[in-house]
């Protein structure tokens, strides 16, 4: 084994998959602290094991402060970070079926997410 792939570990709204991030800079409290995460990465690197960090930076939770601000204020600086749909439109799922959505939480931020010591992104 030469790598560990960590699925979403950031603070989120406890959706089953963990990708509904509420804080892109904090480890989910039920998984430990940032210090513990950094210790894990250091221990892995000491054993020549790479750590891959799975994160999707192009969307956030509906409870993320930027999304809440964008919803509540049409002049929010975050308003254009999200795609707004006025009508329900079909959306393909990974299985090929179609679901219907009305408001997307896809952010278009140009900001870069970063986590120290990580060997790669998933």
Report the alpha-carbon distance of residue 7 to residue 34 in Å, rounded.
15
Report the alpha-carbon distance of residue 66 to residue 78 in Å, rounded.
6
Is pTM beyond 0.85 here? no
Q: How far is CA 68 from CA 8, 34, 102, 121, in A?
A: 21, 25, 16, 27
Q: What is the pLDDT of residues 30-57, one digit of tens each?
A: 999 999 999 999 999 999 999 998 888 8
Identify the pLDDT of residue 110.
37
């Amino acid at each position: 084994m030469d790598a560990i792939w960590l699925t979403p570990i950031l603070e989120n709204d406890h959706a089953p998959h963990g990708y509904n991030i509420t804080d892109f800079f904090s480890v989910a409290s039920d998984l430990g602290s940032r210090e513990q995460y950094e210790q894990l990465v250091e221990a892995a690197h000491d054993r020549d094991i790479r750590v891959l960090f799975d994160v999707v930076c192009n969307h956030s939770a509906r409870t993320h402060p930027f999304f809440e601000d964008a919803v509540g204020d049409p002049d929010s600086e975050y308003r254009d970070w999200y795609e707004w749909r006025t009508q329900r439109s079909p959306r393909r799922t990974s299985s090929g079926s179609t679901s219907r959505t009305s408001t997307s939480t896809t952010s278009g931020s140009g900001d870069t997410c970063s986590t120290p010591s990580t060997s790669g992104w998933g």
